[in-house]
Amino acid sequence: MLHNQTILITGGTGSFGHTFLPMTLAKYQPKKIIVLSRDEMKQWEMAKLYPNEPRIRFFIGDVRDKDRLYRALDGVDYVVHAAATKIVPTAEYNPFECVKTNINGAMNLIDACIDKGVKRVVALSTDKASSPVNLYGATKLASDKLFVAANAYSGEHGTRFAVVRYGNVMGSRGSVIPFFLSLKDQGTLPVTDERMTRFMISLEQGVELVWHAFEDMAGGEIYVKKIPSMKVTELAHAIAPTAQLEMVGIRPGEKLHEQMIGAEDAHYTYEYAEHFKILPAINNWHNSPERIKDGRKVAENFVYASDNNPEWMSQDTLRQWLQANQHKIGRI
């Protein structure tokens, strides 16, 4: 599907973009990948990784700027929307800025993609968008709703939109793994609550889920990857087995357990071998055979949360992952 196509990724200099580019170049041989972001230094550093790769183009811009999006999307076939204000405490203390990027930016991108004739758009979401308790999650829930509804808004233009939702991205900048690694030699690790659990997904799994969404989507689906959970205390012990754990209390906007599918969405959710799909409630699309395909409807009271997950990551599995990925943890 992506072979010889032009792809644009918003927020493309982030952790996801650093993994999406080499994997997609190798697998699909696209015509061009345009990296749209607002940080010129990150673009400069990323460009140095691809000195002889003519298929990668860098474009300074911000999803808040609709005119710039229209220019960036000239000739683009597929879009991955990864731009976001995502750090929970930052969003709590800077709510207006978070809304401008995560909600207004989504609206700008939807309009621009429809008007410029983009074929398909996949937006990245988060477990924090399911029954949100913080501003970041609330803005991403609103963004998810916008991208789902955009399929009706698009009408006969033909642009199709879908969403992928996943949990804690292992080793990404600003996440718990590089934070704990930076403190492991001090003998004490701060843990918010000994009961806390999180979903765990690798960047490579995230990229593969985006690929699947592009291939599978009819429009309006929210794809939820089946991934393991881990207790934060177990994660801490895997990184620093001899460290003392200091309970510091939950930060503003945090949950004890993350959730990717709530009971409210169960009526519209179908299960597949490696993922779930939440189908759109609007226009009776949740009964659409082209969206359901071979899915099995989940139980009426189904909830997919990090504490009731049937799959758990062990300390040994995490240590193996840390060993294999130590060169890039927290650096991309």
- The whole-number pLDDT of residue 12 equals 97
**Residue 254 maps to a domain:** no
DSSP secondary structure letter of residue 184: G
Does residue 178 sit within a domain?
no
Helix (H, G, I), strand (E, B) or coil at 224: strand
- Does residue 279 form part of some domain? yes
Give pLDDT < 50 ranges for the chain: none
List Cβ neighbours of 22 (8 Å cut-off, separation of 6 or more). none
Cα–Cα dist 23/206, whole Å: 11
Instruction: Name the domain count of the chain.
Output: 1
Per DSSP (E only), the strands in the chain are: 6-10, 32-37, 56-60, 78-81, 120-126, 160-166, 168-169, 188-191, 197-201, 222-225, 229-231, 244-247, 259-261, 269-271, 275-278, 296-297, 304-305
Residue 168 pLDDT: 86
pTM confidence score? 0.96
User: What amino acid occupies position 166?
Assistant: Y
- The CATH number of the domain holding residue 114 is 3.40.50.720
DSSP state for residue 299 in the 8-state scheme: P
| 112 lies in some domain | yes
Residue 140 bears catalytic tag: no
For residue 251, the model assigns a pLDDT of 82
Q: Which tens digits make up the pLDDT trace of 260-293?
A: 999 999 999 999 999 999 999 999 999 999 999 9
Choosing from 128, 226, 231, 277, which is the catalytic residue? 128
Asked, for residue 316, whether it belongs to a domain, the answer is: no
Encode 3-53 in three state secondary structure.
CCCEEEEECCCCHHHHHHHHHHHHHHCCCEEEEEECCHHHHHHHHCCCCCC
Q: What is the torsion angle, in degrees rounded to the nearest 10, for the CA atoms of residue 232, residue 183, residue 94 and residue 72?
A: -90
Residue 322 is assigned to a structural domain of this protein? no
Burial of 248 (0-12, 13-18, 19+ CB in 10 A): exposed
Q: How far apart are CA 224 and CA 166, in angstroms?
A: 6
Query: What pLDDT is attached to residue 175?
Result: 86
**44 within domain boundaries:** yes
Please indicate, yes or no, if residue 312 is contained in any of the structural domains.
no
Q: Quick one: residue 218, left, alpha or beta (phi over 0 = left, psi -120 to 50 = alpha)?
A: alpha
Domain containing 214 equals 6-166+202-226+259-305
Eight-state DSSP code of residue 128? G
